[in-house]
Each structure stands twice: as C-alpha cells, then as structure tokens.
C-alpha cells in the first residue's frame, strides 16, 4: 500500500521523466527518441502512452546507473527505446 506521499513522489518523478523525454524529442537527441515516437505512432499508440513508455525506459536506465554507480549508458537506453513497446526486464 502506497502512502499519499509515495504516490505524489511517483507522480512528480513521472512528470519529470516525461519532461526529460519531451526535451530529448525537441532536441532530436538521442535520435532513437524520435524514431521510437514515430514507430509507436504508426502502430496506433497515442502520444501520451508513448511518452509514458519512454519515461519508464528512462527511469529504468537511471535506476540502473544509480544502482551500479556507472555512467548513464546511452547506447543501452537507445536500444531499449527501439525495443518498445516491450519494456526492459525488471530483474
């Protein structure tokens, strides 16, 4: 059971992740971000759903970086974007 603080924190984090994805799209970096948006739009996903999926991938890779104390792996992130709508394994 989540406390309301946890839920608020998760909503805030999700909003920030979606903003980060929007910034990636606006900047055209990484290129996989726009390619992923285009691909998922073609197969019928709505923009909000796509941004949500992309935000989950970004969160996964940020968590990995923090857990392993390693630099952000842009190549793995781009590959994970290309794999959408399949999400990275949560081991």
Q: What is the pLDDT of residues 60-90, one digit of tens each?
A: 999 999 999 999 999 999 999 999 999 987 5
pLDDT tens for 18-55 read: 999 999 999 999 999 999 999 999 999 999 999 999 99
User: Alpha helix locations (H) across the chain?
Assistant: 4-27, 31-42, 47-68, 74-83
pLDDT of residue 66: 95
* Cβ(71)–Cβ(64) below 8 Å: no
Q: Model pTM greater than 0.85? A: yes
pLDDT of residue 68: 96
């Amino acid at each position: 059971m989540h406390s309301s603080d946890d839920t608020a924190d998760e909503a805030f984090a999700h909003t920030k992740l979606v903003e980060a994805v929007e910034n990636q799209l606006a900047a055209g970096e990484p290129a996989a971000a726009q390619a992923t948006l285009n691909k998922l739009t073609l197969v019928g996903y709505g923009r909000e759903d796509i941004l949500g999926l992309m935000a989950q991938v970004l969160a996964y890779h940020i968590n990995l970086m923090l857990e392993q104390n390693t630099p952000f792996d842009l190549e793995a992130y781009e590959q994970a974007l290309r794999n959408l709508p399949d999400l990275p394994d949560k081991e």
